[in-house]
Amino acid sequence: MAPETRDLLDDELVLRFLHQGSLQFRPRFPDGFHERVYQQLAQLKHNPGNHITREVPDLQAVVENPVVHALAYSLLGPNYQVHPHRHFYDNRPGSMSQGWHVDAATPDHMLRGLILFYYPQDTDLNMGPTVFVPGTHFRDAPMDRLASYANIRGQRNFIGPAGSMVLLHPDLWHARSLNRSSQHRYMIKFMLTRPDEPEQPSWRHDPETAGALFLSRVREFVGPINSFCSDYLNEWEWRRKLWNWMRGAPRQDPNLMDFLV
């Protein structure tokens, strides 16, 4: 069923996702829901892989939550699917951090899927949150080199109260960070996919204002160093390509000079 129009993302938020490569949010759940999920996860004797929703059926309500539905519908269109792959990440006290990586490397960076992370406990900086680098979904990740990078200037952490969730572009650089606390940090990953090519915007799009909004934002820096370099120029072009693709606009030849006025 299509979400209520008022629940869909608007152009502003779609552009924010397009620039950052992620959107963090926290839907409402009944009192005690996240604590119950956490306790059920704590009792697992082994990691059931893709069967995590069978072992902890409450997790189905996470991926089927109406806010998740409205966001996925906005970004992936009406025919998006919940992929059967899902995984339980137990970041144990005293763990090591993980190497930087991307979960998928989409050759053309178009948005054919989304990663959903759900954190059932309060997650602060000490508890081994997922760390990510905004804007990196348009950078072709040199995976073998990436794994040896340490801290990256401008990296951020998905921290927040129990029930926090985030949708990620599958090409965004991220990693598990080390858990300095005495508590297990849990995270469940789901995947959502887009089976078709967009024909029209699937969010609350206003064709009257969207073009000017896009142009006013396209040069925004998401990195920590506001310097012009070829990667930033490429990024503007990637933003335009993805924006046009998501709107189902006819393919246009790249024309970087449009931005240099």
Ligand X SMILES: O=C(O)CCC(=O)C(=O)O
Residue with tokens 């995270």: 187
Of 47-55, 103-111, 203-211, 229-237, the segment contacting Fe ion by CB under 5 A is 103-111
Contact residues for 108 (Cβ-Cβ < 8 A; gap 6+): 241
Q: Is 97 in the site for Fe ion (CB under 5 A)?
A: no
Should residue 176 be labelled a site residue for ligand X when binding is judged by CB under 6 A?
A: yes
| Contact status, residue 193 vs residue 81, Cβ threshold 8 Å | yes
Orientation of helix 230-246 relative to helix 11-20, angle to 10°: 140
Which residue shows structure tokens 């050759």? 107
Residue 193 CB partners (closer than 8 Å, separation 6+): 76, 80, 81, 83, 112, 113
* Residue 103 or 124 having the CB closest to ligand X: 103
99 binds Fe ion (CB under 5 A): no
Residue 86 near ligand X by CB under 6 A = no
**By CB under 6 A, is residue 103 in contact with ligand X?**
yes
Q: What is the DSSP string of 50-116?
A: GGHHHHSGGGHHHHT-HHHHHHHHHHH-TT-EEEEEEEEEEE-TTPPPPPPB-S---TT---SEEEE
Q: Does residue number 174 form part of the binding site for ligand X (CB under 6 A)?
A: yes
DSSP structure class, residue 167: E
Identify which of residues 117 and 243 has a Cβ nearer to ligand X in the complex.
117
Q: Which of 91, 136, 155, 179 binds ligand X (CB under 6 A)?
A: 91
DSSP E strand boundaries for 106-234: 113-119, 130-132, 156-158, 164-168, 174-176, 185-193
What is the Cα–Cα distance from 186 to 11, expressed in whole angstroms?
A: 33
Binding of Fe ion at residue 10 (CB under 5 A)? no
Q: Please say which residue, 55 or 103, places its beta carbon nearer to ligand X.
A: 103
Nearest-approach distance from CB 174 to Fe ion, in angstroms: 6
By CB under 6 A, residue 169 contacts ligand X: no
Closest CB to ligand X among residues 34, 174? 174
Binding residues for Fe ion restricted to 150-169, rule: CB under 5 A: none
205 binds, among ligand X, Fe ion, none (CB under 5 to 8 A by kind): none
Nearest-approach distance from CB 237 to Fe ion, in angstroms = 26
In the complex with Fe ion, the residue whose CB is nearer, 103 or 220, is: 103
Which residue lies nearer to ligand X by CB, 86 or 176? 176
Rounded CA separation 124/121 (Å): 9
Q: Between helices 66-76 and 11-20, what is the axis angle to 10°?
A: 80
Residue type, position 95, single letter: S
Is residue 103 close enough to count as binding Fe ion by CB under 5 A? yes
Output the smallest distance, CB 103 to Fe ion, in A: 4
User: Which residues of the chain form contacts with ligand X (CB under 6 A)?
Assistant: 89, 91, 103, 130, 174, 176, 187
Please report, as ranges, the residues that interact with Fe ion according to CB under 5 A. 103
